[in-house]
Amino acid sequence: MRKYFTLFILTFLVLSMNAQNIIHYWHFNNLNDSVGAVPADYSLSSTAPEITYPGTGPGYMDDVSDGDDLNLRQGQVPGNGLRVRNPSDLRELIIPLPTNDHEDIVFSYAVKRTNNGAQTQFLSFSVDGGNNWSNAAPFADSITVGTDYAVESYDFSAISDVNDNPDFMVRIQFFNGSSNISGNNRFDNIVIEGQSTTAPPPSDALVHYWHFNTLSGREDNPIAADYTLVPNTTPEISYVGVGDGYVDDYTPGSSLNLQLNEPPGAALRVRNPSFNRALIIDLPTDQSSDIYLVYDVKRSGSGMLFNNIAYSVDGVNYDTTGLAVRQVSISENYQTFTFDFRGITTVNNNPNFKVRITWDGNTNQINGNNRYDNVAMFAEQTTLSNRTFTQQESLSPNVYPNPASSEVFIEWNTPQRDITYRVIDMQGRTVLINNINGNDKTVIDVTQLSRGLYTIIFNDGNQQSHKKILLK
């Protein structure tokens, strides 16, 4: 028997770094009795694909209570598996796997047999809804099924026809014991994963951005965007609701969806209990249309398992109409998620646009949290002018020398009032905080600071800007 397990572990590590999304997932834990079709337990599609077992003879599918922990996702338990009963020589297992908006597809599952079950599976795939089938790589051969669960994993990233294809499917045929009256093959944790292709192209305008690198300790107030292109607004994130849950800073932040040359720094930690709470993200889209929201998130071991996404166009009522992705599963490694509002015209040019995140799974615990970073809203179209950039430049002093050793000078064109500055290290920690009041030149003594790269954040109460400085 081929040993796929080590390969699986390596593949999983690589996928985690590449932020693969789970597209469809069957864990079978809610399966009950014999069934003709088994819909995916989790699916990015609004209509979950269904596994069927067409053919002739008395063979059928039902649940079996010895599911397995191999290939588990989304914090699920082994629970039940899918029992595909003999005789299976007159039937075949059909698994539709639409890959809309995804590429670099990986298909995997855990499988075993009973003593009288089929010892050989022959796998094929179709890119045209089952009219034509191929056993080419990554399948390439039949597989041997043992009496203990093992993981089979297949990387389709070299086959471009599989990408973004609503008609992709896999067929499994059974041999060597498949004509027995008794015996069966047992499946658990059938997963298809891929990389989202809907991430915004780099030419799109970054309209709002939270990098959270200036957070320090518990935050009771709404958290203003670190950057916005929209003048005269204060986009902010609020953790609303009741209960002991709160938000604070978490280090390390994420390096995935970084914008504006920010370091990973800190992230926003949203703490349990979260079942009576929501994260509300104000995202005014004035003068902008064709909107995307992108963010990075991971969870702690007992943190919330799913993010549910809804949006508001009146600032009060929330809806999911037109949203292709309404729920995403959160892993213990940072992943980037993209939510596409391009098809929803009421979102465009709307000062009241908001996105709401609520949670499923582990929400009523005392411990556990989700960590958010690099919350960024993009617009494909915008008429926002450079006016805001000009405002930001007014908050942009000359900071020198750079690199510096003992003193750093902050020099303004005119005397400034009520500007707070913070010096942030690469871990996102505030190492120095002070105010500028009526001066056009300030000296910071940096002899006590460790050598390295720092960010100085200036905030006048309405907006922020930052400068990087290297201490040598």
Peptide bond into 264 cis (omega under 30): no
Q: How far is the CB of 78 from Ca ion (least distance, A)?
A: 5
Rule CB under 5 A: say whether 112 interacts with Ca ion.
no
Q: How far is the CB of 25 from Ca ion (least distance, A)?
A: 10
* Residue number with CB closer to Ca ion (337 or 412): 337
Rule CB under 5 A: say whether 273 interacts with Ca ion.
no
Q: Please list every residue from 156 through 195 that binds Ca ion, using CB under 5 A.
A: 188
Half-sphere exposure at residue 170, Cβ-oriented, CA atoms within 13 angstroms: 24
Q: How far is the CB of 253 from Ca ion (least distance, A)?
A: 3
| 425: DSSP letter | -
Distance CA 81, CA 83 (A): 6
Pattern 9-48, Ca ion, x by CB under 5 A? ------------------xxx-------------------
Residues in the chain, overall count: 472
* Residue number with CB closer to Ca ion (28 or 156): 28
In this structure, how many other beta carbons lie within 10 angstroms of the beta carbon of residue 315? 14
- Residue in the block written with tokens 């609004």: 46
The answer to whether the CB of 85 falls within 8 A of the CB of 61 is: yes
* Residue number with CB closer to Ca ion (268 or 419): 268
Instruction: Give the closest residue to 387 by CA, choosing from 262, 228, 260, 235.
Output: 228
Rounded to 5°, angle at Cα 174 from 170 and 176: 155
**Three-class SS of residue 318?**
coil
Instruction: Give the closest residue to 172 by CA, choosing from 124, 140, 107.
Output: 124
Binder to Ca ion among 85, 211, 277, 298 (CB under 5 A)?
211
Q: How far is the CB of 136 from Ca ion (least distance, A)?
A: 30
The answer to whether the CB of 304 falls within 8 A of the CB of 330 is: yes
Pattern 355-374, Ca ion, x by CB under 5 A? ------------------x-
- Sequence-distant (≥ 6) Cβ neighbours of residue 372 within 8 angstroms: 212, 267, 268, 270, 279, 295, 296, 297
Binder to Ca ion among 42, 49, 53, 67 (CB under 5 A)?
67
- Sequence-distant (≥ 6) Cβ neighbours of residue 106 within 8 angstroms: 11, 15, 20, 153, 154, 155, 156, 157, 191, 192, 193, 194
Rounded to 5°, angle at Cα 116 from 115 and 120: 90
Q: How far is the CB of 79 from Ca ion (least distance, A)?
A: 4
Q: Please list every residue from 78 through 107 that binds Ca ion, using CB under 5 A.
A: 79
* Residue number with CB closer to Ca ion (67 or 98): 67
* Residue number with CB closer to Ca ion (17 or 366): 17
Q: How far is the CB of 170 from Ca ion (least distance, A)?
A: 19
Q: How many residues bind Ca ion (CB under 5 A)?
A: 12
* Residue number with CB closer to Ca ion (61 or 404): 61
* Residue number with CB closer to Ca ion (28 or 168): 28
DSSP symbols for 409-427: EEEEEEEE-SEEEEEE-TT
Distance CA 149, CA 457 (A): 54
Q: How far is the CB of 67 from Ca ion (least distance, A)?
A: 3
Rule CB under 5 A: say whether 212 interacts with Ca ion.
yes
Q: Please list every residue from 228 through 267 that binds Ca ion, using CB under 5 A.
A: 253, 265
Q: Please list every residue from 398 through 417 that binds Ca ion, using CB under 5 A.
A: none
Pattern 313-352, Ca ion, x by CB under 5 A? ----------------------------------------
Residue 13, exposed/middle/buried by CB under 10 A (0-12, 13-18, 19+)?
Answer: exposed
Q: How far is the CB of 323 from Ca ion (least distance, A)?
A: 26
* Residue number with CB closer to Ca ion (110 or 207): 110
Q: Which residues in this chain contact Ca ion in the complex, by CB under 5 A?
A: 27-29, 67, 79, 188, 211-213, 253, 265, 373
